[in-house]
Chains A and B, each alone.
Chain A
Amino acid sequence: QEDGHARVLRRQVEETLRGSRMVAVCQYNSMPDEDVAALRHFLRKHDIHVKFVLNEVVRPVLAQSKYRNLLPLFVCRNILLVSPETRAREMLRVLKGVPQVNLLAACIDDTILSRQGVENFARLPPLEVSQGQTVAALSLLSSQTSSLLQRGPAHLTALLDQHIRRLRDAEGPTEPPPG
């Protein structure tokens, strides 16, 4: 019977991991129940869900999944923060006010990140902004090249114009006015 229950728990963990782009592993230290409820509430606002996990249940599931490199983290009491999105900034902001929960590492979009890695990831600008910045940087180079290439002929044109004007001014007084 116990094995059946463990099997159900394991399947739940598998399903949770399957549907998540972000899986953060945190050490859980004693917290009053109201604080746990508040933590769940604030994280849920950002579509991040708190899952209490037992190491005996979670370890076999991880060992056979792409998360096997997270296995060393599963000693002592842990919780998983899972989300179908990758809102690391919001997660860190909520966790800042909860010293009893210590972020150990996370797996975001199939990439395992240390705590520092998650902080760096959170500081990245959104994808559209990054794409805009890349396009701007690339087009800056080509517009600089274009203006560099035009400088020679433009200078030559200006010099020729000035020369023509000087010639005209020199001939000017002898030419009859037009019309």
Chain B
Amino acid sequence: KMASKMRVALRPVKSIVVRFCPFEPNVESTRKFLQCIYHKKIQATNTNCEVTADVRHDGSEPVVDVTFADGDRLIMKGANLTTGEMLTALESRCNAKDLKEEQKSKKRNP
């Protein structure tokens, strides 16, 4: 339901790894983020984007690790972030990259 409000376009994203320990108490927002990312509307924006869930049992912090097509990385530590904040952060990064790409292509073909 959250995903329909977010317009996350995964076009500039190469892969997303969501890492968490399910028995830890601070993983809810990260797991919800994973659930939202799999929403069909978001998946439809880039079917080549690889989404992986890395389920651990070593007390490590929940992390969302996004790799963009241009090599950039966005690492979000989900323990103290809400799902909305993580989606917003991803959305704004993706929009910024899309904008940059548009400007680049406008320069190439004026």
Contact = CB atoms under 8 A, between A and B. Distances in A.
Tell whether A and B belong to one assembly.
yes
Interface of A: 25, 27, 29-32, 72-73, 75-77, 99-100, 102-105, 114-117
B34 A27 contact: yes
Q: Is the interface of B mostly helix, strand, loop or mixed?
A: mixed
Contacts of A105: 22-23, 57
Given A102-B55, A105-B57, A117-B57, 15 more contacts: A27-B31, A27-B35, A29-B34, A29-B38, A30-B35, A30-B39, A31-B38, A72-B24, A73-B22, A75-B27, A76-B31, A76-B32, A99-B51, A99-B53, A114-B55
Contact of A29 (B23, B35, B55, B56): B35
A113 to B, nearest CB: 9
Interface of B: 22-25, 27-28, 31-32, 34-35, 37-40, 43, 51-53, 55-57
Contact of B35 (A73, A76, A103, A104): A76
Nearest to A76: B31
A118 to B, nearest CB: 10
Contacts of B53: 27, 99, 102
Contact of A75 (B28, B56, B57): B28
A116 B56 CA distance: 8
A76 B22 CA distance: 11
A115 B38 contact: no
B38 A75 contact: no
B48 to A, nearest CB: 14
Contact of B25 (A72, A100, A114, A115): A72
A19 B57 CA distance: 27
Contact of B55 (A31, A32, A72, A103): A103
Contacts of B32: 75-76
